[in-house]
Amino acid sequence: MNIMRFFKAPQLLGRADSNRSRQFRLPRAFLTIAVSSAVASVFFVSSAQANGTWGTAIEVPGFASISTGAGVAVNTVSCSSDGNCGAIGAYTDASNAVQAFVSNETSGTWGVAIPVPGIATLNFGGAVGIILVISCTSTGNCSAGGTYTDVSKNTQVFVVNETNGTWGSAIEVPGFAALNTGGGTSGQLFALSCSSAGNCSAGGAYKDSSSKVQSFVVSETNGMWGAAQEVPGSAALNVGGTGILTSMDCSSNGNCSGAGVYADSSSLIQGYVVSETGGTWGSAAAAPGLAALNAGGYTVPIQISCSSAGNCGVAGGYADSLNNSQAYVANEINGTWGGAIEVPGTSQLNAGNGASVYAIQCRAAGSCSAGGTYADASNNTQGFLVDETNGTWGTAVEVPGLAALNVGGSADVLTLSCGSFGNCSAGGDYADALGNGQGFVVNETDGTWGTAVEIPGLGALNAGQGATLGWVSCSMDGSCSAGGTYTDASNNPQGFFVSAAADIFVPGSPSVRAKSTSKGVVTLSVTGTTPNGGSPITDYQYSINGGGWKNSPSGNSRTIRLSHLTSGRTYRIKLRASNEIGQGKPSSTKVVKIK
């Protein structure tokens, strides 16, 4: 989970350099969420990516029964499978206090939003934060958290679990109050990720007794939350006293990675990464190579995505030597971080010097997708997308079709999620000809980005002309749900949901092991998961030495035995999978000498 789209970094981090602050612009999503001290509502939208068709947005069910105040907001969406998602957000009650709610989508239908059980008991100060996060690992099994205000008007952090479809009661994060002795509004939970039900990690910021803002992490094991702790090693980096863990991704139980920012001895904002291995957090380290790029000394809070333990990507923005904002990415492969690089192609797009990455997702080691914002020669902001394949980042491209929508010259890619590598959905906001904010979505299928479109049905809801898409979540089967904001005819913030079936596409390349198991015989074994777009694999085909494709004698079995081959001869074999749509991409060539 990440928070980059929610805030302008200089405001959060307290950087005093106003010239530098102007380089990192505030996405419209934050402006909408923060309006009138009420929290803006969010919509959800799901996509069938094969044909690029998004369903029609509807208002979030149940808000009218709980939100009798000025506004509502859905902050985060997380999906575990097609049509099975969770969401968390905020609403204003009859006393105009801001409370938290949760909602679940089950089998494609969004249920009624309900108050987070127990949050009103904690939230004596009457204000939950604008950043609330959720992570769902299976249907009806989610963990969520965020910030609330105690009776002394200090911000504290809470977590809450859903088990088998029933939400428990929110609790203050154990041990957080012992860290957060400086009080004020610096106590924040910004990131949360779960690898399985009841096994999660989360983090954010607190203020210590010396009034320095520090980073913290907290882990949950088998449904029990442990005590919050300072991110190991982060205080040694954070000499300037502005440390925040901004993003978290857990690939398996006890194996998580986090990313954040800190202020160095010159009070310049830098980035760090940290890993948990086997349930133990290691020491935070400066993001390799980022300080060399960040000559201007300002790093937009970074986010992280991991495909497996030790294989991650981070992304964000930095200030170059001229204090212009640029976009960067970096990769960890097999536990070793490479150096941060400027996103290829953004220097050509970013004539107005206002670039940053706001979203990244990695679905395999060295294979990620990212999106963000740049400023063109007219200093209008536009959205870009970029893909990495096998460790090499391609060239960033302007979001196809977005410029035609963005007549008002203010567009951002704020969110991106991939069901499998090369099959993603992204979105954000743009300004129409009247300068009004609208929401857009764009789909990638088999590595090719389609054309951005206005979210269907949003225009009819968005009478107040202040809409954005702030979050998208795609499950492994390819289905996606998303959330955003709009304003009604009275200019009050409102929200909506929409759901659709999983995207359908041909299978991806299968991972294959090949071994000659006996005289004249080779056995092919499909390992791992082959992306199938939600359409089951019906059979496999094989090709020998570049010849034509033949059906597997074992149908859709993941173990295939080929016989009557010549002993002592070397064969070059490929395998591909099929579903109802057609034949998928072939595997890499396997070279086998037959016994």
Q: Which domains does the chain have, with CATH numbers?
A: 511-593 (2.60.40.10)
Q: What is the pLDDT of residue 43?
A: 41
Per-residue pLDDT, 477 = 65
For residue 524, the Cα-to-chain-centroid distance in whole angstroms is 35
- For residue 36, what pLDDT is reported? 25
| Phi, psi of 82, rounded to the nearest 5 degrees | -55, 115
For 257-315, what is each residue's pLDDT tens digit? 999 999 999 999 999 999 999 999 999 999 999 999 999 998 876 899 999 999 999 99
The answer, yes or no, to whether residue 204 has pLDDT greater than 60, is yes
pLDDT classification of 63: cutoffs 50, 70, 90: confident
pLDDT at 29: 37
pLDDT of 64: 74
Under the banding of pLDDT at 50, 70 and 90, the label for residue 435 is very high
Between 502 and 182, residue with greater pLDDT: 182
Q: Which residue has the tokens 């602050």?
A: 21
Residue 75 has pLDDT above 90, yes or no: no
Across all residues in the chain, what is the average pLDDT? 86
Q: What is the pLDDT of residue 371?
A: 97
What's residue 12's pLDDT? 31
Per-residue pLDDT at 1: 37
Return the C-alpha torsion angle 337, 443, 474, 257, nearest 10: 10
Pick from 18-22, 193-197, 426-430, 459-463: least confident: 18-22
Average pLDDT over residues 45-49: 38
- The 10 Å Cβ neighbour count of residue 198 is 18
Between 67 and 521, the more confident residue is 521
Q: What mean pLDDT comes out for the span 141-146?
A: 97
Max CA pair span of the chain: 82
Nearest Cα neighbor of 54 from 499, 527, 406 is 499
The Cα 528–Cα 533 span in angstroms is: 15
From 207-211, 300-304, 586-590, the region with the lowest mean pLDDT = 300-304
In whole angstroms, how far apart are CA 586 and each of 366, 551, 575?
A: 19, 13, 6
Higher pLDDT, 25 or 520: 520
Tokens, residue 586:
């072939």
| CA-closest candidate to residue 25, choices 266, 351, 324, 293 | 324
Handedness of CA 345, 351, 357, 358 (dihedral sign): negative
What span, in angstroms and rounded, lies between the C-alpha atoms of 449 and 396? 12
User: Residue 343: how many CB atoms within 10 A of its CB?
Assistant: 27
- Helix ranges (H only) for 243-374 are 290-293, 346-349
| Whether pLDDT at 8 is above 70 | no
Q: What are phi and psi of 502, to 5 degrees?
A: -60, 150
Confidence band for 94, pLDDT divided at 50, 70 and 90: confident
Backbone angles phi, psi at 120, to 5 degrees: -65, -30
**So what's the pLDDT on residue 499?**
59
Does the pLDDT value for residue 68 go beyond 60? yes
pLDDT digits (tens, 9 = 90+) for 544-574: 999 999 999 999 999 999 999 999 999 999 9
Q: What pLDDT is stored for residue 481 in this prediction?
A: 87
Mean pLDDT of 510-526: 94
pLDDT of residue 225: 97
Question: So what's the pLDDT on residue 6?
Answer: 40
Q: What is the pLDDT of residue 504?
A: 63
What are φ and ψ of residue 36, in 5° steps? 55, 25
With bands split at pLDDT 50, 70 and 90, how would you rate the model's confidence at 478?
A: low
> DSSP strand E in 320-398: where?
325-333, 336-337, 341-342, 356-364, 367-375, 381-389, 392-393, 397-398
